Amino acid sequence: MPRITSARVIVTCPGRNFVTLKIETDQGVYGVGDATLNGRELAVASYLEDHVIPCLIGRDAHRIEDIWQYLYKGAYWRRGPVTMSAIAAVDMALWDIKGKVAGLPVYQLLGGAAREGCMVYGHANGSDVEETIERAHEYLEQGYKAVRLQSGVPGLAATYGVSGERFYYEPAKGSLPEETLWSTSKYMRHVPELFERGREALGWDIHLLHDVHHRLTPIEAGRLGKDLEPYRLFWLEDATPAENQAGFRLIRQHTTTPLAVGEIFNSVWDAKQLIEEQLIDYIRATVVHAGGITHLRRIAGLADLYQVRTGCHGATDLSPVSMAAALNFGLSVPNFGIQEYMRHSAETDEVFPHAYSLSNGLMHPGDKPGLGVDIDEALAAKYAYKRAYLPVNRLEDGTMFNW
């Protein structure tokens, strides 16, 4: 049985910030876990260093469930993104260790492959509809089966999901939060046109997705979903903020456009009503922010009872360690739906060597024992942490709004 002898937090910024936990054992086997919480990274680093690591030393690394329960129940203060990202990092690292000791990739420990690979969707972003469609074509040429369309909105200087970069969308920047302005009516007029022209140009053999990023009320979301019905979206994401889960009833009454929600969820309790009332079609809770593989399996298990499928968050602020864990999870879970995949920069990929690969729109975690991902600590040490914030959003009259 491998005993935990030490653990440390590695903060690095190869183009963007990442927090990684490395757990070492007396058998020479170590594991890695992602603990990155975009814009609030150091809170999780401190939670791990100051409060979690001292409790890990000497424990049996194989007792994943017991350690999960110890950290969740033992903190007394349950849930929340900081706590659950810290627990997730420990959980990922322990699954990595178990796989390495067993000589098996983690998906084999989770029941084995339930499919050939995980369908992923890429991000097509453009300052206008034409540019977005041009980018989408590039994904089609690369064999992607699904693509998310976001474009600049006429009359708005900036909006969520659009940047100058060709394949990377990186919203966290600046030593203070950037401020953007939002108009729901301008957005609502524009999106149906994006998808009308998108279908015309891209055809019907590709899944199209869209992220509202929490910016509509339930009745506005119902209207947008209805307007988008002719274009048969794979999903409409985060149509409205989900603190009030019952709010989704109103959207459901008005549209058959499939709904996805949950990238900011950190526990099954955030999604319980959404799932049990079948108010959503895809649950986006992700391995790093929702308590690791152990807890994500529990969420997926509940979702499966109600024909809700997984659609895990996979933006660039989730490190390659999270991506590896998500693919091991996604390959094995019965109700897998789709996995978001935003490519990391070459610098990031170099710091985190990994076994996962993409072919014909499907990703596979690879067959290395454990998660199939590592961290090059010497290289990581060359990139010092840089404070970065997600933007904040206001209405045109200055009212604080959702970003």
Short-list 220, 212, 193, CA closest to 132: 193
Kindly state the smallest distance separating residue 264's Cβ from ligand EZ4, in Å.
Answer: 8
> Which element (helix H / strand E) includes 310?
strand 309-312
- 211 is a site residue for ligand EZ4 (CB under 6 A): yes
Kindly state the smallest distance separating residue 393's Cβ from ligand EZ4, in Å.
Answer: 11
Q: Are 241 and 214 in contact (CB under 8 A)?
A: yes
Q: How far apart are CA 150 and CA 98, in angstroms?
A: 40
- Active-site annotation holder among 72, 121, 139, 160: 160
Does 341 participate in catalysis according to the annotation?
Answer: no
- 213 is a site residue for ligand EZ4 (CB under 6 A): yes
Task: Name the binder of 289 from ligand EZ4, Co ion, none, CB < 5-8 A by kind.
Answer: none
Amino acid at position 219, single letter: I
Does 213 participate in catalysis according to the annotation?
Answer: yes
Short-list 118, 200, 122, CA closest to 161: 122
The DSSP letter of residue 22 is E
Closer residue to ligand EZ4 in complex, CB, 24/263: 263
Single residue of 20, 25, 36, 38 touching ligand EZ4 by CB under 6 A = 38
Closer residue to ligand EZ4 in complex, CB, 68/282: 282
- 281 is a site residue for Co ion (CB under 5 A): no
Kindly state the smallest distance separating residue 148's Cβ from ligand EZ4, in Å.
Answer: 8
Q: Are 212 and 188 in contact (CB under 8 A)?
A: no
In the region spanning residues 245 to 284, those forming contacts with ligand EZ4, defined by CB under 6 A, are 263
User: How many other CB atoms are there within 10 angstroms of residue 70's CB atom?
Assistant: 17
User: How many other CB atoms are there within 10 angstroms of residue 315's CB atom?
Assistant: 17
Site string for ligand EZ4, 139-178 (x = CB under 6 A): --------------------------------x-------
Sequence-ordered list of residues with C-beta below 8 angstroms from that of 132, at least 6 positions apart, any chain:
124, 125, 126, 149, 150, 151, 194, 198
Kindly state the smallest distance separating residue 143's Cβ from ligand EZ4, in Å.
Answer: 21
Task: Name the binder of 317 from ligand EZ4, Co ion, none, CB < 5-8 A by kind.
Answer: ligand EZ4
Short-list 234, 295, 233, CA closest to 268: 295
Per CB under 6 A, which region of 6-14, 149-157, 310-318, 330-338 contacts ligand EZ4? Answer: 310-318
Closer residue to ligand EZ4 in complex, CB, 41/227: 41
Q: Are 329 and 287 in contact (CB under 8 A)?
A: yes
Kindly state the smallest distance separating residue 340's Cβ from ligand EZ4, in Å.
Answer: 6
Residue 119 token pair: 């369908």
Single residue of 96, 211, 220, 227 touching Co ion by CB under 5 A = 211
**Beta strand pairing status for 357-359 and 362-364?**
antiparallel
Closer residue to ligand EZ4 in complex, CB, 43/379: 43
Distances (CA, A) of 51 to 48, 83, 182: 6, 10, 40
- 16 is a site residue for ligand EZ4 (CB under 6 A): no
- Residues belonging to the active site: 160, 213
> Which residue ranges make up the site for ligand EZ4 (CB under 6 A)?
38, 171, 211, 213, 263, 313, 315, 317, 340, 390
